Structures are given as structure tokens and as C-alpha cells.
Amino acid sequence: MSGEIKWYRVPVDEVLTLLDTDEDGITAEEAQIRLSKYGFNEVEVKKKESSLHRFARQFASPLIYVLLAASLVTFILEEYADMAVILGVVLANAVIGFIQERKAENALESLAKMLVPETSILRDGQRMIIHSRELVAGDIVLLEAGNRIPADLRLMYVKNLRIDESMLTGESTAVEKNIDPIETKSLPLAEQKNIAFGGTLVTQGNGLGIVVATGSESEIGKISELISKTKKISTPLVRTIDQMAKKLAVVILGLAILTFIIGRLRGFDDLDIFFASVSLAVAAIPEGLPALITISLAFGIKRMASRNAIIRTMPAVESLGSATVICSDKTGTLTKNEMTIRNIYTLEGKFDVTGVGYTTEGDFELQGKKIDPLGHPALMETLKAGALCNDAYLKEEGGIDGDPTEGALLVSASKAGKFYMQRVDTIPFESEERYMATLHQDDEKNSWIYVKGSPEKLIELCSHQFNGKELSSIDPENFLTAAEDMASDGLRVIATAYRKLEQGKDEIEEEDTKDLIFLGLQGMIDPPREEVKRSIFKCNNAGIRVIMITGDHILTGHTIARQLGIRTEGALSGSDIQGMSDEELTEALRTVSVFARTSPEDKSRIVGLLKQEGEVVAVTGDGINDAPALENADIGVAMGKSGTEVAKDASDMVLADDNFASIVNAVEEGRNVYSKIQKVILWTLPTNAAEGLAVLAAVILGLNNPPLLPLHILWINTITALGLGVSITMEPMEKKLLNRPPRPPKEPLLLPVIKQRIVTVALLMVTATFLLYFFEMIQNGRDSNTAQTIALNTIVFFEIFYLFNCKSIYENVFKELFSNKFMLMGIALVLSLQVFITYNPTMNAILKTSPIEPVDWLVIGVTASSVFFLIELEKYVKKKRKIN
């Protein structure tokens, strides 16, 4: 119904006309008509994915398709043991993936919850309470302190009305509202002072508002549409694994077909050669790889949780490790979301105030030296005025109750002592007057009026100034210059004044607020978190760029960025962004890292353009306004303490301590996880390739009794994946991970060094195993079962020795051989199982193995150890060449 009307530009009487209503509200009959025509005041929730569909999706992988095909073939061939093992591996991988994928797509449900269940309105001139979903355009809503706004309202009456819009706009302080139309054509939400937005909170005063937008037409509704339209793009890790899986599937199928063709040419029976081809596919497919990658990510999730980063989607663990840009909200993320007095100016000098947030610990300094505030009367009177002309309260358990600005004044006064006088009358703060006044009396009925407000307004009301000793005529330029200096440092400036009235005065009259005595200025800011500057330094060192995107004032944002060490060439406002083409904004993004007064659309657009430029983007935020960008990012990071449920539900990761420093810890852990995944691949692919090559070699050589039977290969894959592969995921974190640049997003998982190892290790393992097999059969006259048992154990020992090589891709590991106790335990388990199947009669019958001599174990160990020494020699030679 509201269409594209800019309601902040329309006068109140015209708004009433356009919406066909009046100050008594619409009639009940008209409300029903509008409700049936335009629908309920609620956000539509998109249908969630069913659990069954999510479980079925775990099988959507080229490698899994090949395994399922192999299990079908083994079933047809009545090789039920093989089929059971293959299906067991596939099912286990699907179950793990399903359990770990814990993100629920309920961001829109949380948005719907932000619309309050009941609201007080006027209809037919009568005040009534209705369910907020029944609100329609034209209704008149009554607002009081503590109310949550039920829909977008054009304000028609306000009395000292202040609204906390931080969850929607990022504005760090409650916004003072008025009813005056604003002529500006394009205005950010934070500057629409005559509009109350759905979901925001009334912190002070009261008012009346005309409903101009409900449901999907409200600002919350528009954000919900942005979220629903955002298609979650897969993470770099998921994309890379999918690409690798497709390539592996093509190569393995090609080899299986080649095996079948060679077998036919060698004269094998069709059924035998078909089974051999399937055996090759089963051998070469790293069916344990998805599970090992899942385990690596799961352990990463556990470690991140211990560092206050709660992961909601498994691939997000790795994504942060490859992040190149972190787009951060300011309020509550880089800053404490607690207004703090930093400077106080009086005619005695400019004082610095130490301490942060709403704790009363802190000191006063003058010219860098700590001073006793009691020795500075003008300072004490300034603090006293801020404390008495105040509606906020300090909580016993810490923190404040009331407006953050007033809380900051109260805290700064508390650092100097306690100020108390009985209040007998008040003039509330009003936007038209730009000041607040309170009247106080002492025990002897002496009366004083204390006033606080904008410096410009109080200078108009003052005729004198106090220098700590005496009164003199006010020098307006002196205080205005001081106020401008504070504002240029990003401080919000509040002026204070006072006047003594006649004894017994208990009511403020208009004349009492004139001829005041100017006391001083207090400058406050939402301070940066102490640890954030160090964290941003680490990000810069790690090659990660930090960009601030805030709904706060551009000067404040730029000042905070400068204090934190964010590298930027200037700052841009939301109106600047809206006037830019995508090409212009992309160019600006190369140098500008501070964006202020932004809308949710602006933030999401910035994230999208960064991704188009090939950046891997992490986005932090805590408000409703952050949700679309959190969804659009490669990884969304929400605040756990101060964050709204909407932001958390749209995120991939939640910071339990709301600490930007925890993001840097998560980046380090993400890089650690990726490093381990590379090591898993480095170990898995060469060993699986060796097993597949063993099948192909047996076919090429025309062996009716190959060194490895299909069941042997499945046995090896199963025990080594669990006993050896999992242990790699428990490797200690490598040092100096944050001194490296981010991994290029397009870097393949199959690095050139891994491809080289596949060839080297596979050829060595197969050649040595076949030679040992032939030696036992021909030279020693062993039967085929005994020779096959030796070959089976040789392959397993090769995989054990090669496991040590995989502790590092490039560095020699001699000093780190025993650093991973889990690896030693896994090796012990695998060796125990090999002894078991070699000497247990039941396992001999199932796997067609035979007991071997003690000397055979020595020969197997010496043969298999060749891979360890060869790979370590290769690392040493390459490192020497690189140095030289």
C-alpha cells in the first residue's frame, strides 16, 4: 500500500490523507478490508529443507556414485562381503556428514519473531491492544519507553522520544526522534529521524506513529527478502573437493575400462576381467577421503569452540583459513558498544579521562599527568551537572540502565565521587530545544538548575562562564572551537551549565533556563576493544584486509578505523555508495576500507563486489541489518552475546565472546585445518593409487593369482583409513601459520608435489611388493596364500612408513617422528590387526591368508621402509636446491 513513497519527506497531515486515516485511526471495518487485501504484518518464512533430503544430499558426490555402482556390481557377482564393506563405508560417510551439518535455515523465522506479538493502537478513536500481525497501514500506534516497534511508522507526535536502532542501522547511540518532514531525496535509515522502524526499541519518552509499511514492505521485510534471495555459494574447500572428486572419478573409470580392454586382449574370462575392473575402481577410489576430511573439519570445530568460535557449518572451518578480506561491523564488534567519556574541556584546561565502558574505575589527567579532580572546581561542577541532569542509573552488578549517552556522563562523574541532590522538577530533552534541564534542592531548600545539551544551544542560553574561581562573560568562540576539535576526533560532545535559583524554588519556568553559567564540554565515544588493534595487526601480517562497514557517522567510523590501524584512504558514506556504479565502487574498494551510514543493501553489495574480484570474504555483524551480508559472504560471523537471533541464524560462525580477536584465532585454526586436509590427501591418494595400480599390473602381467585379492584391498582401505588416516588429523599445529599469505582461492588441492608423490610412491610400492611376491613364489616356493599374505602386509607397512613422511609436505620429519601420540597408537592398532588376520584361523579362511615366519616380518619392514628414506631424501634435495 505504501509503494515507493519516501514517507520521511511527507508532512504528517499529508500522510494521513494518503493513507485515508486521521488522528483517531481507521475504523475496525476498514482494518479488516485492508488486512484481507494486503495481508498480515509478518515476514514470510521459506520452507526448510527436510531431514530426509539433507541426508540424501550426503550421497551427492562423484566418488560416492562410483562406489555405489561398484557395490551394485559386487552384488550381481554375489561377492556379498565386498558389497557389505563398500556400502558400510558409504553409509558411515553419509551419517557423519548429516550429523555435522547442523545449520538450520531459520533466519527468516527469527525476523518474524522481531515483530512483537501485541501492540497498543487507536481505532475509531478508542485505545485498544491487538496482535501486531493484524496491524495495517493507517493504524495509529502508541509508543512508550520499553516498547518494541511493531511496524514501520511515520511519527506524528513525540515527547522526548529516543529509539535504539543499532540492530537495524548500526548507530551506536539511541536516536532522538521528531516529526518534521525532511526534504532530502535519498536518506540513509539512520538519518530518517521522523520514522520508527519495525523491530527497534523505544528507550525513552513516548509518541504516536502512523503505520506506513507492514510485513514484507517494512525495512525488516526488505531484509528478509534479501536473505531469501541470497543463494549460499559453496565454500572454497567444497568447490575444490568437488572438482578433485570429478577428476578422480573420470581417471578411475578410465583405468577400469583400460583394465577391461587389456584383460580381454590377454584372454581373461569376461566375468573375471569385469570383476578385476571393478576391483581396480574400488581399490583406487579413496572412499575414506570424505570421512577423513569430515573428521579434520570436526576436530577443527572442537578446537575453535575452545577458542570461543562456535562453528555452525562444517566447511566454514576451512573457509576462514583462506579468507582474504574481513568486512566488520563497528558497533559491538570492533568497539565495546559502551559510550565512554574521553575528554572534558573547561576553562581550567582539557582533561583526559581513563577507563573504558560502564565501569567506574578510571582517573583524570591534565597534560599527561594524573590529577585530583577535587582540586579543579570547574571540572567538578561539569561532572556534577552531567550526573544530576540525568535519567540513567548505574546497576549494582555493573552496566547502566537508560540512554548510553547519559550512562557515559554518569560513569565519568562516578570516577570523581558521588553527587546527589534531590530532584524536584525536569524539562525532558526535546529535539526542538536540544537540551534537558533538572531542578534540584539541598536539605536547606537551596535550589539549582542544571542543564545539558548541544554546545551551540547552551552557549545561546548562557551569559557567563566559570573558570574554577570566578565568573566572567562567556566567550562563545572558545567553547565552539573546543567542541569542533572534539568532534574532529570522532567524539560526541555534550555541554553543561547551571544557575542558582531563589531558595525554595520547586518548579522550572522559562526564565530559569536563561542567563546560565557555562561549565564545560564532555566528549564521548564508543571505544575500540583493547585487543582489536593487535588482532588487526595480525590480519595485516597474515595478508588479510580488514574493512569497516558501519551504520554509524562517517567521522566516527574513520576515527575508530585510524585508531585501530585499519589501512584506508578516506571513507565513503552510504549516499556516496548509492551514487556509484558497480565499476566505480569496485575501484573505490581497492583503497577505501571505511564505509559509514550504510544500509543492508549497501553492505551486501560491497560483499558481492569483493567476491566478484576473487576475494574470499568473511563478514562480521550483530544486527538485523547485517543478516543479508552474513548470508552473502563466504563465511558469516555473528556476535554471540550482543548479536540478534537473525544475525546468528544467518551466520556460519558465532563468536561466544563477541571478540574480534577470536576471529584471528579462527583464521589460524582454519589454516591449520586446511594444512591437515592437504596431508590427508598427500597420504590417501598415493596409497590408493598403489592399490589400484597393483590390480592393473596383475592384469597386464596375466596373473591368475594376483598379489592382492579384492577383499585384501577393501581390508587395507578400511583399517588404514581408520587407524592411520585419522591420526593425521591429530597432528600438532604448524608454527607461523599467520605469517603466510592466504591460500589463493583457485589453488588446487592436488598440488604439483602431491601429483609427483602419487606417481613416485605408487610405483615404488607396487614394484617392491610384486618383486617380493614373485621372489616368495618362485625363489622360496611359497604357496599363493602365503605369498599374498606377505604382499598384503608389505602394502600395509608401506602405508605406515609413508604416513611419517606426510607429517610435513616440504620439511624433513626426523625430529617430529614421535610428536603425535595418536599416530603411534593408530600404527600399533593396525599392526595388531595385521598380526591377527595373519595368524587367526578364522581370518585365514575369510581373507585367504596364511601364517608367515618371523624373518618374513623383517624382510617386509626393510622393504617398506624404503619409501620413508626416499621421500625424506627428496625433500632434503629440493630444499637444498631452493636455498642455493
Going 49 to 54 to 56 to 57, the CA torsion angle's sign is: positive
Q: Which residue has the higher pLDDT, 153 or 691?
A: 153
Whether residue 660 has pLDDT greater than 60: yes
**Which pLDDT band, with edges at 50, 70 and 90, does 275 fall under?**
low
Q: Which residue has the higher pLDDT, 574 or 58?
A: 574
What cell numbers appear for 425 in the block?
522538577
Backbone conformation region of residue 563, classed left if phi is above 0, alpha if psi is from -120 to 50, else beta: alpha
Contacts of 563 (CB under 8 A, 6+ apart): 528, 533
pLDDT in the model for residue 344: 97
**Which pLDDT band, with edges at 50, 70 and 90, does 98 fall under?**
low
Backbone conformation region of residue 717, classed left if phi is above 0, alpha if psi is from -120 to 50, else beta: alpha
Q: Which residue has the higher pLDDT, 149 or 345?
A: 345
pLDDT in the model for residue 329: 80
What cell numbers appear for 335 in the block?
568497539
* pLDDT (mean) for 334-359: 89
Q: Highest-confidence range of 6-20, 297-311, 522-536, by mean pLDDT?
A: 6-20
**Domains present along the chain, CATH in parentheses:** 7-45+108-229 (2.70.150.10), 309-335+530-666 (3.40.50.1000), 340-525 (3.40.1110.10)
* pLDDT (mean) for 594-615: 88
**Which pLDDT band, with edges at 50, 70 and 90, does 233 fall under?**
very low
Whether residue 112 has pLDDT greater than 50: no
Integer Cα distance of 68 and 282 in angstroms: 10
Contacts of 130 (CB under 8 A, 6+ apart): 118, 119, 121
pLDDT in the model for residue 208: 93
pLDDT in the model for residue 470: 92
**Cα→Cα distances 715→59, 249, 282, 718, Å:** 22, 21, 11, 5
Tell me the pLDDT tens digit for each residue of 691-730.
Answer: 888 878 887 887 778 888 877 887 887 788 778 888 888 8
Whether residue 166 has pLDDT greater than 60: yes
Q: Which residue has the higher pLDDT, 235 or 672?
A: 672
Integer Cα distance of 46 and 39 in angstroms: 17
* Interior/surface letters 702-733, b for 16+ CB within 10 angstroms, e for the rest: eeeebbbbbbbbbbbbbbbbbbbbbbbbbbee
Q: Which residue has the higher pLDDT, 2 or 518?
A: 518
Map 424-465 to HEC letters: EEEEEEECCCCEEEEEEECCCCCEEEEEEECHHHHHHHEEEE
Integer Cα distance of 394 and 415 in angstroms: 12
**Which pLDDT band, with edges at 50, 70 and 90, does 765 fall under?**
very high
Integer Cα distance of 292 and 295 in angstroms: 5
pLDDT in the model for residue 278: 67
Show the DSSP H helices in 579-634 as ranges: 582-588, 600-612, 627-632
Contacts of 553 (CB under 8 A, 6+ apart): 490, 596, 597
pLDDT in the model for residue 409: 95
Strands (E), 456-578: 462-466, 471-473, 492-501, 516-525, 545-549, 572-573
Tell me the pLDDT tens digit for each residue of 343-353.
Answer: 999 999 999 99
pLDDT in the model for residue 104: 32
pLDDT in the model for residue 423: 92
Among 586-595, 640-649, 800-809, name the one with the lowest average pLDDT: 640-649
pLDDT in the model for residue 2: 46
**Which pLDDT band, with edges at 50, 70 and 90, does 584 fall under?**
very high
pLDDT in the model for residue 625: 65
Q: Of 427, 423, 438, 461, whose CA–CA distance to 205 is shortest?
A: 427
Express as a percent the part of the chain with pLDDT over 90: 35
pLDDT in the model for residue 283: 64
pLDDT in the model for residue 883: 67
**Cα→Cα distances 372→351, 353, 495, 562, 828, Å:** 11, 12, 22, 31, 70
Amino acid at site 514: K
Tell me the pLDDT tens digit for each residue of 747-761.
Answer: 777 788 888 999 999
Does the predicted TM-score (pTM) go above 0.85?
no
Rounded mean pLDDT of the chain?
Answer: 83
Q: Of 333, 325, 748, 745, whose CA–CA distance to 543 is shortest?
A: 325
Tell me the pLDDT tens digit for each residue of 842-870.
Answer: 999 988 899 999 999 999 999 999 999 99
Residue length of the chain: 884
Residue that the C-alpha cell 551506536 belongs to: 172
Exposed, middle or buried by CB within 10 Å (0-12, 13-18, 19+), for 870? Answer: middle
* pLDDT (mean) for 114-124: 72
**Is 394 strand, coil or helix?**
strand
Instruction: Judge whether 124 counts as a catalytic residue.
Output: no
Q: Which residue has the higher pLDDT, 863 or 427?
A: 863
Q: Which residue has the higher pLDDT, 104 or 834?
A: 834
pLDDT in the model for residue 310: 78
Residue tagged active-site, from 329, 403, 602, 652: 329
Whether residue 224 has pLDDT greater than 70: no
Partners of 204 in the β-ladder: 162
pLDDT in the model for residue 318: 67
**Which pLDDT band, with edges at 50, 70 and 90, does 1 fall under?**
very low
